[in-house]
Amino acid sequence: MISESNLTELQLLYWIGHQLDPSAVHFNNVFSFAFTTPICPDIFQQAFDTAVSQYDVMRTVFREEKGVPKQQVLAAPPAPLCLVDFTAEPDPAAAAMEWQRHRAQRPFQLEHGLYDSALLLLNEEASIWFINMHHLITDASSFFLIAETLLGHYATLRQGEKLTITEKPPFSRYVDALQRQQASSRAAKSHAFWQEKVSQPLDPANFYGRLPAKRNSQVRRWIYNLGTEQTTRLIALAEQTDLGTTTSELRQFCLTATLFFGLMHQLTGNSHLGLVTTIHNRATQVNRQTAGVLMELCPVQVTIDQGETFTTLLHKVTEEMKQLLLHYRHGASRAASDLALDVMFTFVQRPSLSFDEQIVKHTIVHPGHGSERLGLHIHHLADDNSFDLYLDFHLDIFTEEEQAHAQQSLQKLLDRLLENPDASIQDGAIPWPEFASDDLGLNGNGNGRSKPSYAPPTTPIESQLQQIWEEILDRSPIGIHDDFFDLGGESLRAMSFLSKFEAATGHYLPLSTLLRSSTIAALASQIETETKPDAIITIQPGSPDVPSLFLIPGAAGNTLALNRVAKNMLPEQPIYTFQTPNLDVEDFPAANVEHLAVYYREAIQDAQPQGPYYLGGYSAGGILAYEVAQQLRQVGETVPFLVVIDMPAPNPGYKSWWRVSHFLAKALRLSSHREEAIFLWGRDNWNRATFFRVFGSRRILRNYKGRIVRFRKMTLKRKLHHMQRRFKNLPGEREIRQREAAAGAQVNRTPEPRDMDASSITDPRARALFEMYDKAARKYLPQSYDGRITLLRCPLGYGRKEIRSPFPHYGWKRLTKDLDVHTIQEAHGHLALLREPAVSIVGQTIQTTLSKTMNKDDSK
């Protein structure tokens, strides 16, 4: 794949990581630049657009060609600079900080652009430039290259001068150079060097004697600034230690890495330790001026001997780094991936920026997610010559007590290093926290279940499953009784597994298979018996005395997402979901909600012959649940509870357009497919027009109101300058109108994230299934409902233009008079509703409203 792709080795690893979980945000890199001098939004917008046009990585998208990832540079910027006005907020700085925290958690879609930027207006003298870039297109140095270019353009434009655009070195030049070097003898020696490293893997680092599974990507960051005095002492110590011929930056890197190895030794007890670091490939002048991910991941390994001191360990780290620097350009990132060390250390130089003789303060906005179990990132801040320490703890790995212990241990190691570099790194180590076995369970991860002993495969199909699991989950060995979800598996890894398994064996397994059979042994047994799966899937058996809840998955059939909801409900609540019907692409039924609902209704009545029935559905599954409820009520059954999770209601008014399209098709003798296409075209445009009529005009009015408020707050001098720019063709009037049209829709609001559509699904069956269910939901012409509906929605609203609703009630008030709406503030998009932290609130909300309904029924 590498030879056919135009990605670097590191980019390819990042791309694969993104494909495994496209909704993850741990590849987001976010900086915030604070200005304490007046900033003109129009000039800043033009300066930003010019900077984006100069750096090809800012216009880069990633697309697949015959399964091979390719990076393509667009002619125009893929996204405008957003303008967000906080001047009317009671506390603009706090509001801007909260906005940035939420915005940093928005995932990127690789085919649509990999940066997200905004200018946040706080008051006349203060503003913030927010810039988020995917790691596929950036390293830390790139942020400051782009920032310096942008500020230079702004200063020129503010003086009324014409910009002189100079060509920046393209990232594609760097990629071409790397690929040309792959055939060199030096590259061959480096690959042999890394193969030798990979052949000697380390034992896993069991922090505090435990190795719990990672179930999500949530990370807690502890920030500690050393201050100028302590930093100066550390740098002096690095300079005075005899390490041979090395640069100052390498000396500082090795000394701080020594601290981290000392911490790892104290937290694990291991003598053979390894971590992954980044080495930047910016030795030449042209590379220093190139924006992009000009670096490699590099595994660093040391052995700590009995009585090891800070000084002796520093020498070991330095000698290791000197060796790695000879070979990091070829094969290092792949070796780092293969060794799966799961611990990260970085050392970054943060330069000083100034504008109008004022320091521009730059801070990191952490998205709260990460992939490594433990990470230490040290940033050398040039503004005050101090070190910022960022210690990242994966929340599935470290308890709160362990995090506090690690923080104290790092501080004590630092003090002892400065006090006596020849002291043993183990002297004065703080004892580990005491663990209560009842709380941790036998396997130490708090779930109360003991880890099964390793059981090897006994059949060819088990061996094949094991091989694919070990590849997908990046663990080895995996026994046939190990649970997929306990090993860190989730929806996207499950999809990847099922796709690889079908390619290898020809067996197609639906996603819900893993809910029934989550071990290799159980899966192999199901495959070998070839029994037809039941329509009903038990997520949680619950108590026989509690009525069951039936939840219908969304258009993609993701039953694992509903499993996450169930985990946040009471254990005694029985919860069932459904195997999606008709998975043979060649035998899909007609896209019709009424016909599809029969399958779910019959499955429910087979499992529970009599009501009352408690129903729900996510996304398009909410529409199906609504129709199932209608059909059950038509045959005399009661449905006291119906929950719809983030799905706008179809407009019953579409029936008039259906009559028109039916008449046209009949008059023109068109096929049923053409009639359907005419209906959907008119229906989708009707929905867009309704959204604009209700919501779009308000947004435009808010836009102009915000501009008037900002204009009134300007000084007379700024007002005159603003009017000159508007009426004296600086730039041309057409250019002004185009730029305002692009940016105007973004003012004063948080743009809606892109929701899942068929283009984001790679599995052909899942994609065809999604399109069929999506079409059925859009064609649905509902009848009114005289029961109660509970709606759970995200605060941003449903994103897809064909389906979204401008109303807080998502249009369900047109169908029922009894509507209970809950807005899940923790969700920042449709897909985020069924992921942490929002899914826990979703589960609790459903349980609360369901229990209230059941209690009412019992009291009757």
Instruction: Identify the pLDDT of residue 757.
Output: 43
Write the CB contacts of 841 (distance below 8 Å, at least 6 apart in sequence): 824, 826, 827
Instruction: Identify the pLDDT of residue 440.
Output: 42
| pLDDT single digits (tens) 187-221 | 889 989 988 888 887 877 889 988 888 878 899 99
Which comes out higher in pLDDT, residue 771 or 222? 222
Check pLDDT > 90 for residue 557: no
Which of the residue ranges 74-83, 457-466, 748-757 would you say has the lowest mean pLDDT?
748-757
What stretches of 342-383 adopt beta strand conformation (E)? 343-350, 354-355, 358-359, 361-364, 374-381
Instruction: Identify the pLDDT of residue 699.
Output: 56
| pLDDT single digits (tens) 437-495 | 334 433 333 333 344 567 777 777 787 788 888 877 777 788 888 887 777 666 556 66
Instruction: Identify the pLDDT of residue 795.
Output: 86
| pLDDT single digits (tens) 660-680 | 988 888 888 888 888 888 888
| pLDDT single digits (tens) 300-331 | 999 999 999 999 999 999 999 999 999 888 88
Instruction: Identify the pLDDT of residue 836.
Output: 79
Q: At what angle do helices 9-20 and 491-505 cross, to 10 degrees?
A: 100
Which of the residue ranges 431-440, 471-480, 554-563 would you say has the lowest mean pLDDT?
431-440
d(CA 759, CA 773): 15
d(CA 483, CA 452): 9
Check pLDDT > 70 for residue 245: yes
Instruction: Identify the pLDDT of residue 172.
Output: 93
Instruction: Identify the pLDDT of residue 761.
Output: 57
Which comes out higher in pLDDT, residue 341 or 546? 546
Check pLDDT > 80 for residue 760: no
- Using 50, 70 and 90 to split pLDDT, how confident is the model at 712? confident
Instruction: Identify the pLDDT of residue 697.
Output: 58
- Using 50, 70 and 90 to split pLDDT, how confident is the model at 765? low
- Using 50, 70 and 90 to split pLDDT, how confident is the model at 715? confident
Could you report how far apart the first and last alpha carbons of the chain are, in Å? 65
Instruction: Identify the pLDDT of residue 587.
Output: 53
- Using 50, 70 and 90 to split pLDDT, how confident is the model at 627? very high
Tokens coding 660: 């028109």
| pLDDT single digits (tens) 503-531 | 666 666 665 566 667 788 887 777 766 55
- Three-state DSSP string of 169-199: CCHHHHHHHHHHHCCCHHHHHHHHHHHHHHC
Check pLDDT > 60 for residue 146: yes
Which comes out higher in pLDDT, residue 592 or 475? 592
Burial call 372-385: b when 16+ CB within 10 Å, e when fewer:
bbbbbbbbbbeeee
Instruction: Identify the pLDDT of residue 144.
Output: 96
- Percentage, residues of the chain above pLDDT 90: 48
- Three-state DSSP string of 21-74: CCCCCCCEEEEEEEECCCCCHHHHHHHHHHHHHHCHHHHEEEEEECCEEEEEEC
Asked whether the beta carbons of 254 and 317 are under 8 A apart, the reply is yes
Instruction: Identify the pLDDT of residue 213.
Output: 80
Q: At what angle do helices 227-240 and 248-268 cross, to 10 degrees?
A: 100
Q: According to DSSP H, which parts of 89-224 are helical?
A: 92-103, 140-158, 171-181, 185-198
Count of helix runs (H) and strand runs (E) in the chain:
27, 22
Check pLDDT > 70 for residue 729: no
| pLDDT single digits (tens) 172-181 | 999 999 888 8
d(CA 627, CA 218): 37
Residue indicated by tokens 């006596």: 420
Check pLDDT > 70 for residue 684: yes
Residue indicated by tokens 């297109």: 137
Pairing of strands 386-394, 374-381: antiparallel
Asked whether the beta carbons of 524 and 481 are under 8 A apart, the reply is no
Peptide bond into 731 cis (omega under 30): yes
Instruction: Identify the pLDDT of residue 402.
Output: 94
Nearest to 343 by CA among 374, 377, 303: 374
Nearest to 527 by CA among 604, 602, 468, 448: 468
- Using 50, 70 and 90 to split pLDDT, how confident is the model at 731? very low
Report DSSP state, residue 218: B
Check pLDDT > 90 for residue 738: no
